[in-house]
Structure 1
Amino acid sequence: MGSRMMNSPDIYNPPELQFCFALVNNSCPRNMRSMLSVCTMYIVMIGAIVMTMLGNLVVIISIAHFKQLQHPTNFLILSMATTDFLLSCVVMPFSMVRSIESCWYFGDLFCKVHSCCDIMLCTTSIFHLCFISVDRYYAVCDPLHYVIKITIPVIEVFLLISWSIPIFFAFGLVFSELNLIGTEDFVAAIDCTGLCILIFNKLWGVLASFIAFFLPGTVMVGIYVHIFTVARKHARQIGMVLSRDKLESKATKTLSIVMGVFVYPFINFTTPEDLYNVFLWLGYFNSTFNPIIYGMFYPWFRKRACSPSASACHTACALFLSFCQINK
């Protein structure tokens, strides 16, 4: 019996633990994954990064270059595309390595800078979505006053708020370490070389969720529900009985996609590492989908971007070809 036990595979000993930094005493352990899992994750995440870069770059170039696209609403779209493009360059590549390797190889200072940029750019993108919903509210619900309500100075105020609040919030919070007050024992217990996570105490966990999600999310939901209600009411009033169902279906589809992509990353606040990474990247995918959503589902942008009467616009149309073919 004893001989059989000694010759049998040692099923009780786990594989040798690997560390982020093999020669450092207090190194964090690496998350062991199969080669197939690692390759799949890199392919998916690199694909998302490239799509986010290219999609938002198309929007930036189109609006910056073509005069017919340069009006107040599209300046919001341009600024949001710039935000999402920066996210794909500054944040997503480093988050990809951290998510797959479960290690941070880029130093403590850049960990703080990366966390600041992550919070700032994601929050800035969400603020832009919120103000775009305000713009759409006036366009649909008060079209006669839209031109005098949504002006360049108003858009400038929207942009100032969208950028300034997230910058002060992100950099002020992370570098002041207000979010760590009361969590010192927990931080000391998990501290190791190669760790880069953002920890919130109860107070700042609530405040961060309110500023970055609940406030703009509530405004967006309220506005889009009201827009949908007004659009349906107008359809009834003008007797669009046959086409109303189609309009409602398209409006519901647009609202569902815009809000669904927005809400995904906030479904769960405390999760295991892999599940947290799933929600984190679903949040990043919001920046991937923004140029597609506002290209495909908003005729006011698509018509301006792809008008056949515009000189030199065929280049822009070629860039937008993949998402200019539906909802005709």
Structure 2
Amino acid sequence: MASNFSQPAVQLCYENVNGSCIKVAYSPGSRVILYTVFGFGSLLALFGNLLVMTSVLHFKQLHSPTNFLLASLACADFLVGMTVMPFSMVRSVESCWYFGAQFCTFHSCCDIAFCLSSLFHLCFISIDRYIAVTDPLVYPTKFTVPVSGVCISISWVLPVLYSGVVFYTGVNDDGMEDLVSALSCVGGCQVAVNQDWVLIDFLLFFIPTLVMVILYSKIFLVAKQQAIKIETTGSKTESSSESYKARVAKRERKAAKTLGVTVIAFMISWLPYIIDSLIDAYMGFITPAYIYEICCWITYYNSAMNPLIYAFFYPWFRKAIKLILSGKILKNSSSTISLSLE
């Protein structure tokens, strides 16, 4: 007897192509929600970080080694929003890759390069803040604009070289040829990474993160000691040099706290992805695809979070945003407007 129930047709990424990947179809309502959430994150990363870069580069008062590092960090996050998130959004919602195998490799390369660049920037910023808080008067002679330029160069060159070598030489999937062949299908963009390179990725995340944790722990310890010292000597008459040193130390501590929040947000955003990568590499890629996508998007959203952190903690950034959005930066001499950093 023939069955009265027919099996639902399997949807493919490319219906008329042999070897096409299977498409996981979402309901129309779910697709709208996912595109809204992912699209909002992409737009926030683009326009938020564009505001950060414009603020630092336009207003002369913000031309400092630390702020140049912040602008370069914003550039890395901006590129994540421009070259990574929109295409990952289509991949995540449609469960298919429609942009070709070559662009898949380029997309994966950009993904790793820009995210690692963000990590390196944050590590150098933590070093900058440590020097500024522990020795605020000598800091301007130690961490100069040329030194900041060297840090920025390292933060870009090393991640780009690393990701290029890993993905364009194919060393990432050495020894995994059978698995790669089994996973390969038309309309897929699944990049397999073997245990050796996953371990290297983990170390590239762990070592700078450990440096940041150690430095910020010392920063807050020193900041606490400085606050106690200022409180105990507050009733005494201070010389002008001591008063100036106290004001500088207070400003640097405030900046360190803000950037410490940025580092914590980065670590929280990256931990799920790093843990998932280790589990997949050492336990036979057992993580469901949707878990992997969630972990990826948590890391992507970190690129959109930094401008929100700056807007919440930095009065100068909020004032700069008002000037930019109102069009006042188009006027002559707008670059010399005071943003009241103190």
- TM-score class normalised by the smaller sequence: 0.7 to 0.9
Q: Is the 8 A contact 1:130 1:217 kept in 2?
A: yes
Q: Quote the residue 2:265 is aligned against.
A: 260
1:242-275 CA-to-partner distances (Å, cap 9, x unmatched) read xxxxxx9998787456313433232232332111
**Structure 1 counterpart of 2:49:** 56
Does residue 221 of structure 1 match 2:221? no
Cα gap change, 1:262/1:101 in structure 2, threshold over 3 Å: closer, same or farther?
Answer: same
Pairing 1:315–2:307 present: no
Q: Distance in 2 between matches of 1:63 and 1:249?
A: 18
Matched with 1:130 is 123
Q: Which amino acid aligns with 2:231?
A: G
Unaligned 5+ residue runs, structure 2? 234-252, 281-286, 328-341
Q: Which of 68, 71, 79 lines up with 2:72 in the alignment?
A: 79
Secondary structure of 1:239's match? helix
- Specify the alignment match of 1:190 in structure 2: 183
How far apart in 2 are the matches of 1:6 and 1:172?
55
Secondary structure class of the residue paired with 1:143: coil
- Quick one: distance in 2 between partners of 1:240 and 1:39? 58
| Residue-pair matches, total | 299
Match of 1:107 among 100, 108, 114: 100
Q: Separation in 2 of the partners of 1:304 and 1:31?
A: 43
Report the TM-score when normalising by structure 2: 0.80
Asked whether the equivalents of residues 132 and 139 of structure 2 are also in contact (C-alpha less than 8 Å), the reply is: yes
Q: Secondary structure at the match of 1:194?
A: coil
Shift of 1:73: 1.1
Which letter does structure 2 place at the counterpart of 1:263? Answer: I
Does the residue aligned with 1:29 lie in a helix, a strand or coil? Answer: coil
Q: TM-score, normalised by structure 1?
A: 0.83
CA distance in 2, matches of 1:256, 1:38: 33
Equivalence for 2:295: 279
For residue 237 of structure 1, report the CA deviation from its aligned partner. Answer: 2.3
Q: 1:253 to 1:68 in 2, by over 3 A?
A: closer
| C-alpha separation in 2, matches of 1:194 and 1:159 | 37
Cα 1:89–1:260 shift into 2, 3 Å: closer
Q: Which moved more, 1:260-269 or 1:122-131?
A: 260-269
Distance 1:154 1:193 in 2: 47
User: What does residue 293 of structure 1 align with?
Assistant: 309
Contact 1:264 1:283 in 2 (8 A): yes
For residue 294 of structure 1, report the CA deviation from its aligned partner: 3.0
What fraction of aligned residue pairs are identical, expressed as a percent? 41
Aligned partner (choices 160, 169, 172) of residue 179 of structure 1: 172
1:82: how far off?
Answer: 1.2
Structure-1 separation of matches of 2:12 and 2:322:
53
Aligned to 2:163: 170
Relative to structure 1, the CA distance from residue 73 to residue 287 in structure 2 (aligned partners, 3 Å threshold; closer, same or farther) is same
User: Is contact 2:129-2:256 (8 Å) kept?
Assistant: no
- Over residues 230-251 of structure 1, what are the superposed CA-to-partner deviations in whole Å (9 max), with x where a residue is unaligned? 111222222279xxxxxx9998
Return the alpha-carbon distance in structure 1 between the equivalents of residues 134 and 300 of structure 2.
Answer: 31
Which whole-Å CA distance do the structure 2 matches of 1:50 and 1:318 have between them? 20
RMSD: 2.8
Paired with 1:27 and 1:160, the residues of 2 have a C-alpha distance of: 42
**Aligned CA distance change for structure 1 residues 181 and 20 (closer, same or farther; 3 Å):** same
Q: Which residue of 1 aligns with 2:336?
A: none
> Stretches of 4+ moved more than 6 A in 1?
248-254
CA deviations on 1:289-320 (whole Å, 9 max, x unpaired) are 112223433x4xx447748xxxxx9614869x
Whether contact under 8 Å (2:265, 2:302) holds in the other structure is no
Who is 2:11 aligned against?
Answer: 18
1:79-113: per-residue Cα shift (whole Å, max 9, x none)?
11111111111111001001111111011111111
Higher alpha-carbon deviation: 266-275 or 38-47: 266-275
TM-superposed deviation, 1:131: 1.1
For residues 314 and 49 of structure 1, the distance between their equivalents in structure 2, rounded to whole angstroms, comes to 22
Deviations 1:270-290 (A, max 9, x none): 332111111111101111011
- After superposition, what is the alpha-carbon deviation per residue over 1:31-83, rounded to whole angstroms, capped at 9, x for unaligned? 12122211100000111111111101111111221111112111111111111
1:40–1:317: structure 2 CA closer, same or farther, 3 Å change rule? closer
Q: What is aligned with 2:240?
A: none
* Contact kept? 1:57, 1:85, Cα under 8 Å: yes
Residues of 2 paired with 1:66 and 1:316: CA distance? 10
- After superposition, the Cα gap between the structure-2 partners of 1:27 and 1:203, relative to the gap in structure 1 and judged at 3 Å, is same
Aligned mate of 1:96, from 69, 83, 89: 89
Distance 1:195 1:305, change over 3 A: same
CA shift for structure 1 position 115: 0.7
